[in-house]
Structure 1
């Protein structure tokens, strides 16, 4: 029993994934398990006791949890099943699923099974192209070239590589060649109408490429195409012509085929060796990690420095690893070469350029939205749009777009951003379930372990925190993030000496992987933490060390705040001026780093009003996450609270502190939370609200009970 069918819906049993036709309907694991139980027992009453035992085994749950799950399912399903709906409540007993449920795929009229016109935008799987030449150079290479060519078309929707890897993992067949029955199963699981596959073989000094599209429901051949090339040098050109002919046969309009007919060597590379390195890098990236894939992308660029897709992919990998300076080099190169890219990739590169190079997040958002209008089922662009909304603190919009991305692609990065969007909205339980789903699909990227670590922190589960720290230990280019997270946790509990030692280890780990940018960031974060702990000289020394390791916007922002608050006002102002000159359009420079530096400078000069004014530009985005796991969250309201306290404006100071204390899901394991409880206590006492002040002080004392200094020493 692979799937259960009811009305227009299909529930994949193994993954508990719900589809309406081709559309994926995201469900949390608990809701999906509730639905599966109802479908298994269709026509029979499922008692509340059965649900508790099946959905929440061994956990004490209030009856409201069941009601919430049923309510969610009814909102999703009831529009298709008339006034009565599909789920009936049986008073004092439980629930019954009333619609017909079958285990076989419903019959479909022949007219709807014929291969669709391209304008219908039905998804096509580009399966593997079997290499019968005996030459490993063609392993994966022809398939990657074909996918890049077909992606030009705005009328054909190509299943992304991320989605293919995701479905293979769900099928428990990671790394298995996507041929024959495996290709058909992927199509059937995803509601994909057809797969394009084929082979390449040598015939004397010629290479023969055969391509054919097969129907997912029957395996019958829809259309086929063949091309011949004399020698290896002609293979990509021959593939181009075969792919153009195939697009026409698949129903793409003549006008579209003629308009989007760039030759492969014009929009990608003429080097088979570079294409092979690129294909290998993408495969490793999607099945393992960015860090392991980077050398292959670098090799592709060494072989063809004009290979725009390789520059673009490498830029994304480096940025995902936090190495924005190195990533910027390749984004700039991709932008310079963008006229050699396909239309879809050109739009993506331009949006990335505005994000990373100019830093203009709003212009980047506009570019992504424009691209999504042209390619509405592009999960990558929807995911990137959601990521920008997360950075800007617009979590409702982020969740909307990440749900769109998840409709088309269950990739690692989509789950990561879904988790961040949920945490931003305080949906801690849903974030936890997204983390579980990511691991259940076999994803092992460090950011999933970082999310899981923070989730465990919010749940007060030190053993689970340790498990995820251990999972990434020894992974070059990744373990420094986890060590830095542990340092933040130690700082949260007031164990600043231990936090400093862990930060030192994070710096050393980053340096071993030649990630100078991250080494500098970890040193600067340690400096800011030691400043709050009452060690200004040590903080200033570390800030200077950080500036000597690397220079980026994030680093200059962190160091500038430390230098301003430790008396080096001139240096802090120079850093700010240099940053403003270098990045006048950068959203986070203008609305985060410069306001924070200028606020710190004003407070260092004793001018609390000027500090409040300086921090005002940060208001629209201060609930955002400047860079996950790197930049301190909610820092503008933290500084604003300090400024108001300096001016004895206690009501205003309390309001700013409460922005932090009321959002543990955003501040997570950062020291600003306990110190904000301390600040709130002082403000409440000054306002004569003694009981509330005592309660706030008790929250601080509880967190700092194992601190280096007694909680009583903190005022």
Structure 2
């Protein structure tokens, strides 16, 4: 039976930072400028030469200085080290592995992302161009090569700053004399000294004020609007997403989520400063950051301003000039790096987490604008409406990894698993073109929702959560993983934490709601469903969960309220399927089949083809399990025509076919699914295990059926299977004439009904539990089970096969 999962956005990547460059040491110390380790066995090699000259440049090794026409050029430590290694091997390719070892030192290696950033910074310092290099050439798939002519210099006099060199033109000092100074001269000197001291102190204070960190690690930072006053309306609403990506890249900054901010400021692009400061104070933020693109002659200027939320005082403005339109994203890179430094982010963090925007997002401003529009809609909970924007962004820039990742997540949430896998695969293939944060977002979701590797996804989310404890997304998605495999008790605290980190994100609230539902905490569940956030939520799965909770509590009004919310919306598909599940569990088969058909048509109208196939298979499996195998075959054929290539569709089709008695076809579809997704944990360990068990049941091989389900036991309560594995295991024990063991399995289903309250297998297990107890000889408890079913099926169709079966069992009870 098809059930839905959903995921949130955003990921971080744990990394190893670089040690600070050591400025001390003797003139013969190594040019690997990492700090020496305490291990005495670690040695450092002396530099090969004192300096290198090429073109108009001179590199002085010991003083770590880069000169151009005798003027010092600003360059950071890691790019300088990269330059030295390349100069030492001028004309030869230095591999990525060798660079990682040489730049990182003996205890750890520099990672590829940092190496690319260092190469970019080095080219900036040298005025070089990666597309038409004069100095540093990228050798694809291998490393880097210094291609200009280099002259090594072995003359310690190039390092005058390191030692005193006497000037022979000056005479030797043999003696000195003293003369009396007048009191007037003394007064002039004192006044001059005082003035100098005041100037020095003022300069110190100004320096201190301009260099002191503006934010601590726990200060909340709110990102406001990014306005466009350049006069170029093509730039309207373009830079805000890039601005956020660059700041989210930082592991140091503690950012308030965009969704939280937008609950108070609907359109940051046109909001006033006072509106945003008020919102910042409401959100308990300490600093508000705003961006602006302004025109200047020539070109444009990117300006980022930080404001103190409490007082409204301007703290700093960081600017960068863009001479042409193509320079706007590089200018935003520079301005954000400057702002991150002013906020207090350490240099080693800036070096490690500082991927250029044209790599982290896109070099196309048009694609970036489309992506930003999608982000704005997603921030408002309008996921389906954002699809066209993300698709446009990917069409405009086929290398836009983050756009593909967003599409993968949205299609997964919509139940379009084939499309989701395709987009996640594209994102995963392009993951090198992202920030470290987004790279792990893509990687974790790829394992969790494309390949289905539960353990690898869980490891990735745990890592993300550990390194970035303020991020909601890894906590939320980790909770989803535990809900997926049927361990809601592990998910509850995670879901609560995710919701507390950001109460405004609908998907986090949906996870929280599901966790409460599956542990039976109906008081907390009802509080969420009836809260203002719940009433205003646009997330379909949230309303589905509230519907299920109302059903579990026999709250007909609550169920109708959720159905009314969905009526006429594109999201109605999911609620119609839930209503169909309820109808079949109550024995109203005709009504259930009609609702399943409506859900299918609604899905097709909204271009959710795979979900339509899943709904049809849900109907087919229900028919086969309640006793309409012939009708089920027709529905299976329809489903496979709609979505023949999806591994989950194939897996559930195989299950429906097996339950309908078509064992050969079931084996064929199961083989296709396994071949497509050999690593998918739930598909292979639960869905296909249940297919094998169902086939053995048809062949009256119950021992084999039980063995087939051994691998599934740890995943018996996964959300896709809706408690079916324990039910099938119970049927196998009945075939083996072991009613006691069968009763235990049916009781497991009933005991876990809170995980899937509207699952058909709850009522079918209650029926077969009564039968098992009857076979054991416990007729009094068997009667109790049948009485419960009489109440559930009081309005059932008179020809509902399970109802007729119950009447046959009752006739066998002693009078």
- Superposition TM-score, scaled by structure 1 size: 0.80
TM-fit CA distance, 1:270:
1.3
- Which residue is equivalent to 2:452? 359
TM-fit CA distance, 1:235:
1.4
- Name which of 527, 537, 554 aligns with 1:460: 554
C-alpha separation in 2, matches of 1:528 and 1:289 = 32
- Which residue is equivalent to 1:198? 291
C-alpha separation in 2, matches of 1:308 and 1:119 = 32
- Which residue is equivalent to 1:150? 247
Cα distance per residue 1:623-648 (max 9 Å; x no partner): 2312xxxxx41110111111112222
SS at 1:227 equivalent: strand
C-alpha separation in 2, matches of 1:585 and 1:409 = 33
SS at 1:141 equivalent: coil
- Name which of 652, 672, 692 aligns with 2:741: 652
C-alpha separation in 1, matches of 2:231 and 2:792 = 64
Cα distance per residue 1:154-193 (max 9 Å; x no partner): 212222223323xx2xx4x544655423322333233322
Matched-pair contact (CA < 8 Å) for 1:115–1:222: no
C-alpha separation in 1, matches of 2:381 and 2:249 = 27
- Which residue is equivalent to 1:287? 380
Cα–Cα, structure 1 residues 254 and 439, in superposed 2: closer, same or farther, change >3 Å?
A: closer
C-alpha separation in 2, matches of 1:463 and 1:327 = 35
Cα distance per residue 1:528-558 (max 9 Å; x no partner): 1111231111111211221121032322222
Further displaced range: 141-150 or 633-642:
141-150
- Name which of 729, 732, 750 aligns with 1:640: 729
- Which residue is equivalent to 1:323? 416
- Which residue is equivalent to 1:707? 796
- Name which of 484, 491, 495 aligns with 2:588: 495
Q: Considering Cα pairs closer than 8 Å and 6+ residues apart, tell me whether 1 or 2 has the greater RCO.
A: 2
More helix by share: 1
Cα distance per residue 1:132-152 (max 9 Å; x no partner): 234443333222211111122
Matched-pair contact (CA < 8 Å) for 2:517–2:525: yes
TM-fit CA distance, 1:119:
6.6
C-alpha separation in 2, matches of 1:495 and 1:351 = 42
TM-fit CA distance, 1:243:
1.0
Matched-pair contact (CA < 8 Å) for 1:125–1:194: yes
The reply on whether 1:217 has 2:310 as its aligned counterpart is yes
Matched-pair contact (CA < 8 Å) for 1:623–1:634: yes
C-alpha separation in 1, matches of 2:421 and 2:348 = 36
SS at 1:120 equivalent: coil
C-alpha separation in 2, matches of 1:308 and 1:185 = 35
Cα–Cα, structure 1 residues 497 and 441, in superposed 2: closer, same or farther, change >3 Å?
A: closer
- Which residue is equivalent to 1:595? 689
Cα distance per residue 1:331-387 (max 9 Å; x no partner): 111111111110011111111111122211111100111122222211111111111
- Which residue is equivalent to 2:486? 393
The reply on whether 1:672 has 2:761 as its aligned counterpart is yes
Superposition CA RMSD, Å: 2.1
- Which residue is equivalent to 1:274? 367
Cα–Cα, structure 1 residues 116 and 599, in superposed 2: closer, same or farther, change >3 Å?
A: farther
The reply on whether 1:511 has 2:600 as its aligned counterpart is no
SS at 1:129 equivalent: strand
Aligned residues: 592
Matched-pair contact (CA < 8 Å) for 2:723–2:759: no
- Which residue is equivalent to 1:575? 669
SS at 1:494 equivalent: coil
C-alpha separation in 1, matches of 2:344 and 2:490 = 35
- Name which of 559, 570, 574 aligns with 1:481: 574
Q: How does 1:79-90 map to 2 (within 5 A)?
A: none
- Superposition TM-score, scaled by structure 2 size: 0.70
Matched-pair contact (CA < 8 Å) for 2:458–2:481: yes
TM-fit CA distance, 1:396:
2.3
TM-fit CA distance, 1:461:
2.6
- Which residue is equivalent to 1:250? 343
The reply on whether 1:347 has 2:440 as its aligned counterpart is yes
Cα distance per residue 1:427-476 (max 9 Å; x no partner): 12212222233635722221122122212212223233223223222223
- Which residue is equivalent to 1:305? 398
C-alpha separation in 1, matches of 2:628 and 2:367 = 52
Matched-pair contact (CA < 8 Å) for 1:290–1:321: no
Cα distance per residue 1:644-697 (max 9 Å; x no partner): 122221111111111122233222112212221111111111121121111100
- Name which of 333, 337, 340 aligns with 1:240: 333
The reply on whether 1:368 has 2:368 as its aligned counterpart is no
C-alpha separation in 1, matches of 2:474 and 2:239 = 25
The reply on whether 1:164 has 2:261 as its aligned counterpart is yes
- Which residue is equivalent to 1:296? 389
C-alpha separation in 1, matches of 2:691 and 2:212 = 60
- Name which of 500, 513, 516 aligns with 1:422: 516
Further displaced range: 481-490 or 397-406:
397-406
The reply on whether 1:449 has 2:543 as its aligned counterpart is yes
- Name which of 123, 132, 136 aligns with 2:229: 132
SS at 1:399 equivalent: helix
Matched-pair contact (CA < 8 Å) for 1:487–1:500: yes
SS at 1:714 equivalent: helix
Any stretches of 5+ residues in structure 1 without a counterpart? 1-113, 627-631
TM-fit CA distance, 1:515:
1.5
C-alpha separation in 2, matches of 1:237 and 1:712 = 70
Any stretches of 5+ residues in structure 2 without a counterpart? 1-210, 807-815
Q: How does 1:82-121 map to 2 (within 5 A)?
A: 120-121=217-218
C-alpha separation in 2, matches of 1:341 and 1:497 = 52
C-alpha separation in 2, matches of 1:218 and 1:341 = 37
C-alpha separation in 1, matches of 2:756 and 2:487 = 16
The reply on whether 1:439 has 2:536 as its aligned counterpart is no
C-alpha separation in 2, matches of 1:122 and 1:447 = 33
C-alpha separation in 1, matches of 2:543 and 2:694 = 34
TM-fit CA distance, 1:493:
0.8
The reply on whether 1:561 has 2:655 as its aligned counterpart is yes
Cα distance per residue 1:59-109 (max 9 Å; x no partner): xxxxxxxxxxxxxxxxxxxxxxxxxxxxxxxxxxxxxxxxxxxxxxxxxxx
Matched-pair contact (CA < 8 Å) for 1:223–1:250: no
SS at 1:196 equivalent: strand
Q: Larger Rg: 1 or 2?
A: 2
SS at 1:246 equivalent: helix
C-alpha separation in 1, matches of 2:609 and 2:534 = 33
- Which residue is equivalent to 2:161? none
